[in-house]
Amino acid sequence: MSPGGSGPEQLEEIFEYRFTRLDPVMGDHIDPPSVAVYETLLTKGADGKPRPGLAAAWTVSDDGMSWRLRLRDGARFHSGAICDAHLVVEALELCRWADGLPRQVWYWDPVDSVRAVDDRTVEFRLLFPCARLPVLLWGTHTAIVNPRTWRQLGSEFGAVTADGTGAYRLVEYSADSVIVELAGISTALALAGRPRRIRWRSMPDEAERVASLEEPEVSAVRAVPLSRVTPDDPIWRFDTQAENSQFYLALNFDAGFGDRGLRRALEAFIDREELADEALEGRGDARRSPIPVADEFADSYVDSSDRALSHAEARAELARLGFTPDDDGIAQRDGWRLEFECVTQNTDPFRSLAAVVERQLLRAGVRIHFTFHEPFADFYRAVEAGPPAFLSKWLWPDAMEAVMGFSRSDCIEPGGGNWQHANTPAVDETYDRFLRAEANDARAASALAQRAFMAEMPYLPLCSPTETLAVRRDVLGFGLEPRTLYPSYEQVTFAGGSTGLMMGAT
């Protein structure tokens, strides 16, 4: 218990990856601690509607070209600096340009300018009316940092210290463990019985995560295998839901895969049901679709006119393109063999998926040599080197924005996520229509974009996993939330008072 005996001390959560530094601007990944340390201007409600975040209120002009957001009174960074509109704008510009990119980051595309109207008001001026601007404003990659601290610390920001406005401040960081504690500005949360400290431990090995369920100090465990989920467990509550993410195979257009017919022929040999059964314990989303079943626009796409080719049609297409079997059965054309490297992440799910994809494409006369890289920095550097292919997964609160960012032609790095150097203008046009669609037209615009994606194949979608979270039954107000990256930590309490534990740094 706390020295005064008045409340819980620590929530301890097991995470399936090693941690990257807590930097929304330049960090390699967004991990759960960032959700506790930083705030976004808006938050995403369970109904998909915007809710107050760092901004307490907002208005939209009649023509939809201006959004004004009023900051919460009394907001301060953990360093004690007042969080005013001028610093928020400076922080947003860091996120928008990633501190020096020649093109603004792709999810900022509707925005023309951002300015401080006064000390408490931030205005976004748009290039066109965009009903989906809140997707930008609640995105974790636009979380608000103190830009002055960010510039002062450089690459040490998010490791030595992290200066946000969230309920918790960073105490200790390493790739294996992160500890935060209630910030001085969060007295109300402490009085309400919230955990005074949260510790996350990295545990990439699945067997170790299962074993951690026996550790009395552990409060929650992410990515528990479905085979371990037992609804009547007396100690643990197991949350499961379709994850708003997607595994995909990206083929580098610059490595010979720019031909639409070739991509469609190879896609015909991807058996998504087999992938889900063997690599995802039979509990993944195996639909042939650009976006996962968890997303709000999932049911607006119907696999019809852009159906997959049969194996016979695919082999005929490969023959039309001039490919014939080599002596060992590998398809070749004028000395170019469909045998190539594919980089992916060195984790259990990716290794399982890679083994199945390798076997499936060998049926088409394609031999893939997988190389495995640690997430996330090592893997990203390997992808940026331009290999012929890579197997990856995006995890994003809003699937349409993820698909657009990781496939549209004008989002080739830097400034975007199109590492496969895709060039599909017909798809880009439908994305623009989606961004410009009024709210009541968004579903039709999404359906059009998804059909164009599947017809042109900027990358090959594979399957989407089911996410799991084990939470001790005495931990209240904490669990999986639909179409979000990670749960919020501000509503957590403990049944019966304190955990009685104090772990980690002091």
pLDDT reported for residue 501: 36
Domains of the chain and CATH, by start: 10-21+166-242+466-494 (3.40.190.10), 39-150 (3.90.76.10), 245-463 (3.10.105.10)
Burial class (CB in 10 A: 0-12, 13-18, 19+), 199: buried
Q: What per-residue string of b and e applies to 159-194 under the rule 16 or more CB within 10 Å gives b?
A: bebbbbbbbbbbbebeeebbbbbbbebbeebbeebb
Section 15-39 average pLDDT: 96
pLDDT in tens, 338-360: 999 999 999 999 999 999 999 99
Section 226-236 average pLDDT: 91
Q: What is the DSSP letter of 363?
A: T
pLDDT reported for residue 303: 75
Section 425-435 average pLDDT: 95
**Is the pLDDT at 500 greater than 60, yes or no?**
no
pLDDT reported for residue 7: 38
pLDDT in tens, 261-283: 999 999 999 999 999 999 999 99
CA angle 407, 411, 415 (to 5 degrees): 135
CA distance 98 to 23: 11
pTM for the structure as a whole: 0.93
pLDDT in tens, 120-150: 999 999 999 999 999 999 999 999 999 999 9
**Is the pLDDT at 238 greater than 50, yes or no?**
yes
Return the axis-axis angle of helices 442-456 and 425-436, rounded to nearest 10°: 170
pLDDT in tens, 144-184: 999 999 999 999 999 999 999 999 999 999 999 999 999 98
**Nearest of 301, 296, 477, 250 to residue 397 by alpha carbon:** 296
Mean pLDDT across the chain:
92
**Is the pLDDT at 489 greater than 80, yes or no?**
yes
**Is the pLDDT at 414 greater than 60, yes or no?**
no
Q: How do 367-373 and 389-395 pair as beta strands?
A: unpaired
